[in-house]
Amino acid sequence: MGDVETPIGRFRYEIDDRGRLRATRWAGPRASNTRTDRASRPSRVRSFSATRDDPVGRAIIAYFAGDVAALDRIPVVLEGTALQQRVWRLLRRIPPGSTRTYRELAERVGRPRAIRAVGQANAANPVGLVIPCHRVIGSDGSLTGYGGGLYRKRWLLAHERRSVGGPAAARTLSRRRSVGPRSG
């Protein structure tokens, strides 16, 4: 197991004996969706336990330092149903700084009426952040649930938009924030 201290909390990950990512999680108690303290302010990665021989940890550190494409280089190994596998592959193809809706994902897996099933597959993602379930939003553009807490989802999306599109892209996310939570 490795971990990285990030601007939004300690991020833990497990790799197999071949260096492939198997699981991730945010450390600590289940996140509150209303926490706004340090997560609302950008900051630098302060410390980490990744070693020179740990490419997964190095990629996570690079992501938080602004190389948001670094996560694409992490090999993953996942077990899940056929639908989960298809949804997770689609999630991994969402470019940093972009979002998709549950409805769009359902249509792309060929099951346009399976919006809830797609949402459940998204929620079952064992390697959050690397398979970017935080890039999925409600059909009305609102931020919907995230296992790490909505404040982390908001921070991750803003971080990616700043990194790929500059300040204007980050401002677009801020305007969306005022929509308020609704079901996706």
Do residues 62 and 146 share a domain? no
Strand ranges, E, within 52-133: 100-101
1, two tokens? 């197991």
Residue 167 confidence (pLDDT):
46
Q: What are 3-62's pLDDT values in tens digits?
A: 999 999 999 999 998 999 999 999 975 544 444 334 444 444 444 455 556 899 999 999
Q: Measure the CA–CA gap between 154 and 144, rounded to whole angstroms.
A: 10
Closest C-alpha among 96, 98, 95, 87 to residue 124: 87
Residues that are catalytic:
133
Which range of residues forms the domain containing residue 130?
82-177
Q: Measure the CA–CA gap between 21 and 23, rounded to whole angstroms.
A: 6
* β-bridge pairing 47-48 and 2-6: antiparallel
Last residue of a domain, one of 42, 73, 104: 73
Do residues 129 and 89 share a domain? yes
Do residues 141 and 57 share a domain? no
Residue 48 confidence (pLDDT):
45
115 located within any domain: yes
101 located within any domain: yes
Q: Measure the CA–CA gap between 59 and 69, rounded to whole angstroms.
A: 9
Do residues 113 and 143 share a domain? yes
Number of domain units in the chain? 2
Q: Is the pTM of this model over 0.75?
A: yes
